[in-house]
Amino acid sequence: MNIVVLISGNGSNLQAIIDACADGRIQGQVKAVVSSNPTAYGLERATQAGIPSYWISRKQKTYEQELLDCFAQMQPDLIVLAGYLGILSRELVQAYQGKIINIHPSLIPKYCGKGYYGIKVHQAVIAGREKESGATVHFVDQGIDTGQIIIQRAIPVLAKDSPQTLADRVLAVEHQILIEAIQAIEKQLCLPE
Q: Which is nearer to ligand GRF, 158 or 191 (CB)?
A: 158
Interface residue with ligand GRF, options 3, 21, 34, 171 (CB under 6 A): 171
CB nearer ligand GRF, residue 119 or residue 158 = 119
Is 54 within 8 Å of 35 (Cβ atoms)?
yes
- Strands 2-7 vs 78-81: parallel, antiparallel or unpaired: parallel
Distance in angstroms (rounded) separating the CA atoms of residues 47 and 58:
21
Instruction: Pick the binder of ligand GRF from 28, 83, 134, 147 (CB under 6 A).
Output: 83
Binding mask 110-129 for ligand GRF (x = CB under 6 A): --------x-----------
Axis crossing angle, helix 163-186 with helix 119-127, rounded to the nearest 10: 120
Among the residue ranges 2-10, 19-27, 45-53, 185-193, the one whose residues contact ligand GRF (CB under 6 A): 2-10
Size of the site for ligand GRF (CB under 6 A): 15
Q: Give least dist CB 61 to ligand GRF, A.
A: 26
User: In this structure, which amino acid lies at residue 96?
Assistant: Y
104 catalytic residue (yes or no): yes
- Residue 133 Cβ vs ligand GRF, minimum distance, rounded to whole Å: 11
Residue ranges in 33-190 assigned as alpha helix (H): 41-48, 63-74, 90-95, 119-127, 163-186
- Please tell me the distance from the alpha carbon of residue 9 to that of residue 39, in angstroms, as a whole number: 8
Binding positions for ligand GRF, 128-167, rule CB under 6 A: none
CA atoms of 14 and 11, how far apart (whole Å): 5
Asked if residue 27 lies in contact with residue 103, where contact means CB atoms within 8 angstroms, the answer is no
Question: Nearest distance from residue 126's CB to ligand GRF, in Å?
Answer: 15
- Cβ closer to ligand GRF: 69 or 119? 119
| Strand duo 53-55 + 132-139: pairing | unpaired
Query: Which residues are tagged catalytic?
Result: 104
User: Which residues form the interface with ligand GRF (CB under 6 A)?
Assistant: 7, 9-14, 42, 82-83, 103, 105, 118, 171, 174
